[in-house]
Structure 1
Amino acid sequence: MPASPTASRVLHVDLATGASRVIQFEGRPLHLGGSGLAAALYEAYGLPGAPAEDPRQPLVFAIGPLTGYYPLMSKVVCGFRSPYNGQWAESHAGGRLALALRFAGYDALMITGAARTLSCLVVGSRRLEVHDVHYLRGQDVFVTGKYLRRFGKDSSGHRSTVRIGPAGEKGVAFACANVDSFRHFGRLGAGAVMGAKNLKGIVVLGDGGAALPEGKDYPKLFRDIYGAVTGTDMMQKYHDLGTAENLSVLNELKALPWRNLQATTDPAIDGISGERFAEQLLLRQTACAGCPVGCIHIGLLRQQFARDHEFLYKQVSYDYEPIFAQGSMLGLTNASDVLALLDDTEKLGLDCMSAGVAPAWATEALERGVITEAETLVPLAFGNVAAYMTGLHHLANGANEFWRTLGRGTPSATDAYGGREFSCVLGQEMAGYATGEVFFVAQALGFRHSHLDSGGYSFDQSVPPREPGTFRTPEEITADVDKAVAFLADDEQKRIAINCMVACLFSRKAYSMPRLQEALTAIGCRAEADGMPGALRAVQAARWRLKLQTGYRPEEVTIPKRFTEIVTWKGPIDTAYMEALRLAYVDAIRRMADAPAPAAG
């Protein structure tokens, strides 16, 4: 039977039995792909009543209809029940994985069950193998990568590897999955989900092909988009200094978290600025497959902590979020120290943001006497890189009860030990934007609890500062809340469009809604193009419904006291405005989840 033109081709692998099947999953005009496809697959095959750690829960890697056809259509959506909060979650990553899945002939890979031994799954267009890799137990991400690359050497140019480190095996709730060395499914615990499935790694061979669309419309549109992203300054920031450029900017705005958000600016920024990294440590730049921009900045790290390896050096990727989390948040002011800490974080398989923000809380808790060195096992102190390197190993390996508790997330640690008031948690450990009320509410309540759910940080920066010592009147609060909530809901939907295709979010200016519809039409996906506005509303609703069905209670989300104590370039936080915004966004989430689905066909 020929494949349906509106069906997604999904490879389902059950690790418990070793069986596999290809599913023609109907409804692409309704779910589009990527984020929408992952949610639709969980609705069809997930177990809402079972815990996130249940190996039977699906782990989904989904691409979009435009993957491989246009520039920067280079991402993969990983959908899973999060061990961090038990809820439906997403994480996005680049590398070669998106094109490998396209060339293998699949719109999604869905994995259920747990293997009997620690295993590696190898997938190709005509190949599926599960290999026993028990000898890799406890090995770091880079050693694991060297072994996994032995599988499918004949497809090395198109092959992609996804693997976990010790943190994923140990079930750390913010363990990440490393993709092709320099990209990650970072937030909310995809690595721990792989660990629960006894899955040390996945190799996607990309050993097939994909035919290009016929006609003149596609090549002309491709050239137009390529010209826009390479021939203008649209992507210049990402290629030049990269997002590390933001460090000096946010520090100047008093919006960069320092030392567990005890400050929002520091004159020592020069030691870890994007300019400092570029001048002293930048080795090369690279790109995800299918991207002409080259935003991945690779730093050269000389092995300063291993005196017996005088000439050893390493390549470590960096950008804004890792430098904030494992630099300013920990009081580190030397770029080489930050790169060294990031290298250990990579090897252990930890999400770099949570693995910086959680130890920052622990450091302040130790300073305040909330915990003692009997718990931390090491004298954590802001600026002490050696102590943090040891602490990361304790965290990834669950060295004692304290580190195992912190490995379930900072909220678990504050429940057990106290200190919630100075925890920097907005749904999960915060991203590095202390820009004000809208961002704090947006990350705390947002679908992925991510700075990428919406541009809350940019909204904060667009609002002019008030006169010193003045706050909004009740009427001003109502008007400003309405504007902010409308912005967050609309911006989220625009980002969902990108995440269904699945493009890099850096390409938002290149891919407006009309341009995405034009791109779909040019490759023959007219039904998807015509129905896109309604489909996006439906995907937005479906994602929120899944999150609510899997335990999310937005009414119960609160923002720790620390976020009310800071001062930005606009002055103190307007707590009355922030609380009104929180309540209004809760209502908006409920409304978005109740949006009706568009009619099929």
Structure 2
Amino acid sequence: PNPGFRTIMRIGLAGERLVRFACVVTETYRHFGRLGLGAVFGAKRLKALVVSGRRSLEVPDRRGYREVYDELYELSTKSNLMRKYHDLGTPMNVLPLNEIGALPTRNLKSGRFEHAEGISGEHMAENYLIRRAACSGCPVACIHLAGIREPYPHEKYFYKTTTVSYDYEPTYSLGSMLGVGDAKWLLRLIHEVERVGLDAMSTGVALAWATEALERGLISEEDTIVRLRWGDAEAYRSAVSLLIEQPNDFYAALAQGVERASQIYRGSEFAMAFGGNEMPGYHTGPAAHIGFLIGGRHSHLDNAGYSYDQKRAELPDPEQVVDDLMAEEAWRMVLNSLVVCLFARGIYKPETVSKALAPLGIRLSVEDLRDLGWRIYRERMRLKMNMGFDPSGLRVPGRIFETPSPHGLISPDYVQRALEHYHERIKELCSP
């Protein structure tokens, strides 16, 4: 119903098989990727949701609405705030992060990847980019689509072209994290992960842990079935299929996430998960990892600790880092509630949001909005704790203290102080 006015959200085989990091795909190229929403759909035997409609909302102040709209449109299309997302997209992060030693490589054994150039945003754009696309109603077009041209085996001069959406996070997790430096094979691997409906970050981190566990002799090829080796994208593509099939105890455990697999097979010190969620692609310093640990979803998008690291030559005391990241997350509660794309967070400052809501008849001051963000944050944390979350029980992967970051070696004491302060803040915030 209502073609052109609908959104389809669906799961793939991963969700059907209850892989804990299965995602929900929406608008073809975007995902509810983290925390296994696809497995929730699968557990409920729900394959897809279609949302459609034709109603519009009445705008009390049409002139004011138009003025704010034009202002936001100008900022989105003509300022530098969104330019990078349109031009190279988030894969532009590959080379700068590699340069400063913050690109997780081979399960974070290193922060630099010798083949980073071959999977960079620049290389992708010059050799594989075929077009850009945008989410509904967005003028930025940050979705970058690559084309893979493959010959049919028995048809001369006959080719199949596969379109693959690529971003920084799949590039890191299925590229540098696995030692895969060939762009074409990286795109094939991304396509396979997309096809079955897995979260790319969790998949790459899980396979990176498995590769190192195999190297160390904690598991055997009898467990992995295929020989996992850094850079062997074809083997990793086979392993993706095995994650779906779960033909033995090892893949059944790995399908529950790297946290669970490392509890069974050991190797938790290099199991790169925070709060049970596999790590994003940033080893920028302590604030990034503190952000992963204390974020409500244990995601880099909760509070941007990775950005906090990069903007400061020297970091403040860990208690101040926690306070700043919590405040950032509380503000993002407002942006998320308004369904604002976090790529545009530089545009939607509190003053702008207040101004944008006014023509709709919603009068909220900057202070009102910030208070609302903290209220949402508090209720979410109360819900998490009621469901069993214990801030004092967060596990810190030892690997983050072994691999130098742009801020040098991360101090375990610094991170521990941050977690202790966070625990106290949460107890105070969530008390009746």
TM over 0.5: yes
User: Following TM superposition, by how much is the alpha carbon of 1:524 offset from its aligned partner in structure 2, in angstroms?
Assistant: 1.2
Q: What secondary structure does 2:48 align onto?
A: strand
Partner of 1:578: 415
- Is 1:269 the counterpart of 2:124? The answer is no
TM-superposed CA distance for 1:532, in Å, is: 2.6
Which of 289, 305, 313 is residue 161 of structure 2 equivalent to? 313
| Pairwise CA distance, 1:241 | 0.6
Q: CA deviation at 1:438?
A: 1.4
Within the candidate set 415, 425, 430, 1:588 is matched to: 425
Name the structure 2 match of 1:41: none
Contact 1:518/1:529 (8 A) holds in 2? no
The corresponding residue for 2:107 is 260
The answer for the alignment partner of 2:222 in structure 1 is: 374
Answer with 285-294 or 454-463: which moved more. 454-463
Q: Distance in 2 between matches of 1:343 and 1:308?
A: 23
Deviation at 1:362, TM superposition (A): 0.2
Partner of 2:295: 446
* 1:436 aligns to 2:285 (yes or no): yes
Q: CA deviation at 1:191?
A: 0.5
Report the Cα distance in structure 2 between the residues aligned to 1:158 and 1:523, rounded to whole angstroms. 22
Cα deviation code 1:519-566 (max 9, x no counterpart): 111111226988433222211100110111111011010211111101
Provide the identity percentage: 40
Structural RMSD (CA): 1.8
Question: In the alignment, is residue 550 of structure 1 matched against residue 387 of structure 2?
Answer: yes
Aligned to 1:482: 319
Aligned-residue offset at 1:436 = 1.5
Structure 2 gap ranges (5+): none
Q: SS at the partner of 1:184? A: strand
Instruction: For residue 496 of structure 1, give the secondary structure of its aligned residue in structure 2.
Output: helix
Which secondary structure does the structure 2 equivalent of 1:161 belong to? strand
- Partner Cα separation in structure 2 for residue 208 and residue 461 of structure 1: 44
> Which residue of structure 1 aligns with residue 43 of structure 2?
196
* Paired position in structure 1 for 2:241: 393
Aligned residue for 1:511?
348
Q: Which of 265, 282, 292 is equivalent to 2:139?
A: 292
AA at the equivalent of 1:410: V
> Which of residues 369, 378, 386 in structure 2 aligns to 1:541?
378
Secondary structure of 2:284's aligned partner: coil
Q: 3-state DSSP class of the match of 1:526?
A: coil
Equivalent position of 1:343 in the other structure: 191
SS at structure 1 position matched to 2:47: strand
| Alignment of structure 1 residues 72-221 onto 2, 5 Å | 152=1, 155-221=2-68
CA distance in 2, matches of 1:529, 1:218: 18
| Partner residue, 1:424 | 272
Letter in 1 for 2:280: A
Larger Rg: 1 or 2? 1
TM-fit CA distance, 1:463: 3.0
**Contact 2:11–2:24 (CA<8 Å) still a contact in 1?**
yes
Query: 1:188 deviation in Å?
Result: 0.6
Is the counterpart of residue 246 in structure 1 residue 83 in structure 2? no
Q: Which amino acid aligns with 1:300?
A: G
What do the CA deviations read for 1:111-143 (whole angstroms, capped 9, x no partner)? xxxxxxxxxxxxxxxxxxxxxxxxxxxxxxxxx
- 1:388 is displaced (CA, Å) by 0.5
Question: Contact between 1:520 and 1:529, CA under 8 Å: does it hold in 2?
Answer: no
Select between 196-205 and 529-538 the one with higher mean Cα deviation. 529-538
- As a proportion of its length, which structure holds more strand? 1
- Structure 1 residue 588, shift from structure 2 partner: 2.2
What is the match of residue 141 of structure 1? none
- Letter in structure 1 aligned against 2:238: T
How far 1:518 sits from its partner (Å)?
A: 1.5
Residue-by-residue CA offset, 1:139-170 (whole Å, 9 max, x unaligned)? xxxxxxxxxxxxx3xx2211211111111011
Q: Work out the number of aligned pairs and report it.
A: 429
Alpha-carbon contact 2:132-2:145 (below 8 Å) kept: yes
Question: How much does 1:214 deviate?
Answer: 3.7
Contact kept? 1:237, 1:243, Cα under 8 Å: yes
Distance 1:215 1:273 in 2: 44
Q: Distance in 1 between matches of 2:119 and 2:215?
A: 24
State the alpha-carbon separation in 2 of the partners of residues 396 and 303 from structure 1.
Answer: 25
Q: Distance in 1 between matches of 2:154 and 2:27?
A: 29
Partner AA of 1:324 in structure 2: Y
2:357 is aligned to: 520
Which amino acid in the other structure matches residue 509 of structure 1?
Answer: G
Paired residue type of 1:369:
G
Any stretches of 5+ residues in structure 1 without a counterpart? Answer: 1-151, 466-476, 597-601
Q: 1:568 to 1:392 in 2, by over 3 A?
A: same
2:354–2:364 contact (8 Å) kept in structure 1:
no
Question: Alignment partner of 1:162: what SS?
Answer: strand
Distance 1:308 1:456 in 2: 51
Determine the structure 1 residue equivalent to 2:331: 494
Distance 1:212 1:301, change over 3 A: farther
1:358 alignment partner in structure 2: 206
Partners in 1 of 2:404 and 2:366 — Cα distance? 45
Which residue of the partner structure matches residue 307 of structure 2? Answer: 458
